[in-house]
Amino acid sequence: MGNASPTDGPVHEALAGLALVDHHCHGVATADLAPESFESLITEGDAWPDSGITPFDSPVGVAIRRHCAPVLGLPRHAPAAGYVARRAELGWREVNRRFVSGAGTGAFCLDTGYAPDAVTTPAELAASAGGAAAVYEVVRLESVAEAVAAAGVEPDEYAPTFLAAAREAVERRGAVAVKSVAAYRTGFDLDPRRPSDAEVTEAARRWLAAGSRGGRLHDPVLMRHLLWTAVDLGLPLQLHTGFGDSDIRMHRVDPTHLTDWLHLTSGTIPVMLLHCWPYQRQAAYLATVFAQVYLDVGLTLHYVGPSRARAILEEALEITPFRKLLYSSDAYGVAEFYHLGALAFRRGLASLLQERVDEDELSLPDAVRIATWTACDNARRVYRLPEHD
């Protein structure tokens, strides 16, 4: 077989014993899910109910039936229909508990700013994890900006009000990072310079005049201003990069479009490139040449599944300094993604490292060190988390 015994060896054992830091994730549903709802949560597309195409018939669907069914007491490769029924039978609390606690995560950095569905609060997620895990919050800046607009603000007060609201959210929630979804709103081919006060006021005037007190933020000047506000806040900035739903214009979210901005903000805040696929090599390049850049391949790992996770990690690690790759699940909506993300990451990374040890390209102590950094230490270092939770 191409990747030989993918679950054996000392590196596998080391990774199995590590409590992960999942540095970017979301809440999961707090309701029993009807089949259509479950299916709509396991695709970055829509569920296409009339198309005869189900998201179960995709790599992530196959991975759920293979690796999640047994967690619910079903046989491996259980049919999709039985799977969703069994989920309902157990009830969402038990389902969440099994998958979240089974992931072996020691700390979660939770983006609470995206929740079109009813999802777990930080406390509920911690409870699902069995209480042994810490949950830290990440403040999504677009949500803060949109709340500022919705509450009503004068254009020339937008910038200071947004900054103050972001600061307040960070402090109130004890957040360890902020996040931007600029990728979804404008892409990264933005003017890298900090906009002037006058430019921000003028852009805010246009936005706030556009109806419903702002609505969705996608003005390019205000997005640049948002990224520079992140610099002012001083916390690590998580940036959605690459893969996502159809709101993405993929060619505009190649993270190397950020190069000039990274030069201008060098020496300020850590920049965490999330997901990255299919630009994992471009992200790795940035993490190699900019001290402040880090990356993960969250979201990607569960969508490609354990069979393909190693190939993605190989590309993500081709040239990357080992202190620059982090783990995240980017789970949202279904707790299965906590389980699958952790499984795909552990198995993919262990397989890659163990093979290099077996070929004597890497020493075993080095392999274990790299595993530990990637699984948890790099995140603890960047987000200044306690050494253990």
Handedness of CA 147, 167, 244, 6 (dihedral sign): negative
Q: Which of 208, 362, 368, 371 binds a copy of itself (CB under 8 A)?
A: 362
- Measured from the CB of residue 226, what is the shortest distance to a copy of itself in angstroms? 22
Q: How many CB atoms lie within 10 A of CB 255?
A: 26
3-state helix, strand, coil in the chain (%, to 5): 50, 10, 35
- Measured from the CB of residue 302, what is the shortest distance to a copy of itself in angstroms? 10
Spatial CA neighbour of 218 closest among 260, 167, 252: 252
Q: Which of 1, 118, 123, 198 binds a copy of itself (CB under 8 A)?
A: 1
User: Which residues between 245 and 264 bind a copy of itself (CB under 8 A)?
Assistant: 245-246, 248-251, 254, 256-257, 259-260, 262-263
d(Cα 21, Cα 32) in Å, to the nearest integer?
27
Q: Which of 16, 34, 73, 76 binds a copy of itself (CB under 8 A)?
A: 76
Query: CA 152 from chain center: how many Å?
Result: 31
One-letter identity of residue 67? H
Tell me: does residue 359 bind a copy of itself (CB under 8 A): yes
Tell me: does residue 3 bind a copy of itself (CB under 8 A): yes
Q: Which range, of 44-52, 107-115, 140-148, 199-207, touches a copy of itself by CB under 8 A?
A: 44-52
User: Which residues between 267 and 326 bind a copy of itself (CB under 8 A)?
Assistant: 277-278, 281-282, 285, 288-291, 300, 303-308, 311-312, 314, 317-324
User: Which residues between 227 and 246 bind a copy of itself (CB under 8 A)?
Assistant: 243, 245-246
| Residue number with CB closer to a copy of itself (176 or 362) | 362
Q: Which of 16, 31, 53, 150 binds a copy of itself (CB under 8 A)?
A: 53
User: Taking a C-beta distance cutoff of 8 angstroms, is the pair 379, 386 a contact?
Assistant: no
Cβ neighbourhood burial of 321 (10 Å; 0-12, 13-18, 19+): middle
For the chain, first and last CA: distance in Å? Answer: 39
The DSSP element (H or E) to which 117 belongs, if any, is none
Tell me: does residue 58 bind a copy of itself (CB under 8 A): yes
| Residue number with CB closer to a copy of itself (30 or 372) | 372
Q: What is the DSSP letter of 194?
A: P
Tell me: does residue 384 bind a copy of itself (CB under 8 A): no
Tell me: does residue 57 bind a copy of itself (CB under 8 A): yes
The DSSP element (H or E) to which 38 belongs, if any, is helix 35-41
